[in-house]
Amino acid sequence: MRLKAKSVLLLSLVMLVGFTAVQPDTLTDRGGWVIQREFLQHRQNISKKIEVFWTKPTEPGPWPAILFIHGHQEQIRNGGEAFVRTGRLGIMASRGYVAGALSQPGYGNSDGPPDFCGPFTQEAVVVAIDFLRNQPFVNRTSDSLEKMDICSVHAGSRLKMAYL
């Protein structure tokens, strides 16, 4: 009888946690920040999706934006989710930034060839930048749009100079 009661209690607890969990397209980082996950269409191939994570400060904006782009990942190819797991997006949001992270094609849940900052990835970055720029809480002044920060791998720094 005790085993049955414990089983019912455990099942109830699991169901309760399941119903109160964060929405499927959100994650919570180690600092407690709620991180949104979006899937955007790639412009070169609309059947391919681009995974983007983002969060924003809790106070009303508008805020400047920053986009993180991961480097090559060997064992765990979780893409932009690495910035969620380390708490980097929440840290930047706490400092007054709309913080985003892109999963390069072939990493995380992004589709496409892993060309490591090649043409397909560069177009994915442009899509992610446009997504962030079009959010109502991102600072839309011309100064802000021209100074959007991108933190990326070394090869991606060419992209920052070319696009911005």
Q: Class of the 24-163 domain?
A: alpha beta
- Torsional class of 117: left (φ above 0), alpha (ψ -120 to 50), beta (otherwise): left
> Does residue 24 have a cis peptide bond before it, meaning omega lies within 30 degrees of 0?
no
Per-residue pLDDT for the chain (164 aa), expressed as one digit of tens each? 565 655 544 444 444 433 333 345 888 999 999 999 999 999 999 999 999 999 999 998 899 999 999 888 888 889 999 999 999 999 999 999 999 999 999 999 999 988 878 899 999 999 999 999 999 999 977 555 455 555 555 444 444 444 44
Helical ranges in the chain per DSSP H: 2-20, 81-85, 88-94, 119-133, 142-146, 156-163
- Annotated domain spans of the chain: 24-163
